Amino acid sequence: MPDDTVRFDIGPEQAGESGHAPQIEFLCDPALFGRIPAPERAIRFAPEWFRRLDRDMGMPDANGMPGLTVKACLPVTDAFALGFVIPLPYDVLLHVPEDRVSIGLGWAENVAFAPIDQHHPGQIGAPNAPFEAAMPLKFVNPWRIKVPEGYSALFMQPLNRPDLPFTTFSGLVDCDRFDTTVNMPFLWTGPLGEHVLPAGTPIAQIVPIRRDALIKEGQARASSEDERAEQNEAARRKYNEVSTYAREWRVKK
């Protein structure tokens, strides 16, 4: 493995003709490798509020079943584990004034590059609604992303992270053809005043997507009698049995 590359399997079940699972690779300048936090599987960045939460509420729910917290919700856990996360490379100081526009930025003098830059407000239509008091910033990403032919990378706000004081804009990038880094625009949504975003803060969740697997056709229709019966039976089991989703419906990712 090259010294400036972090490589992960996308999924063993998707092995191609070579018999090898497709991989996503994160490449950075050799001078930076090992000196800045590297991308990792997204589950490694599950937030502290989720990690410390008990699974059991210690009280029954409305159906008399054990009351459970979101810690017991496997779809939420699967969302935390989906894809990969790019972390902030350096500590960043932000001074957010009352107008939320003239945001001051600072970092250590010896960093290799500026980790945050600014966009022109007009690029998002500010100060028109919904950006009356907003300054679009961008995380400068030192990691080039390589995916196999036919894959794109979905960049998005880390999922289920209302604790983060910013919102990263989403974008779908054809990283199998785009041979350079992708910066991540964001808006500061946290409080006014001075704040430090520490190195290692998750700034974007990355999900590799096979373009030929996208579902592009859909319809809305009334359910059939059999489908209603199927739905009613699933709802009955959902609310009256313990861990039915985990035992019978969830598929390991």
Q: What pLDDT, in 10s, does the model give residues 79-90?
A: 999 999 999 999
CATH number corresponding to 25-210 = 2.70.40.10
pLDDT at 6: 78
In this structure, what token pair is assigned to residue 9?
């399997």
The mean of the pLDDT values for the chain is 94
pLDDT at 17: 55
The whole-angstrom separation of Cα 93 and Cα 101 is 15
Give me the mean pLDDT over the 1-17 stretch. Answer: 65
In this structure, what token pair is assigned to residue 250?
């969830």
* pLDDT grade for 234, boundaries at 50, 70 and 90: very high
For the four alpha carbons of 148, 207, 120 and 144, in that order, the dihedral sign comes to negative
Burial of 69 (0-12, 13-18, 19+ CB in 10 A): middle
The whole-angstrom separation of Cα 90 and Cα 202 is 12
pLDDT at 5: 78
Whole-prediction pTM value? 0.90
Instruction: For 100-135, write each residue's pLDDT tens digit.
Output: 999 999 999 999 999 999 999 999 999 999 999 999
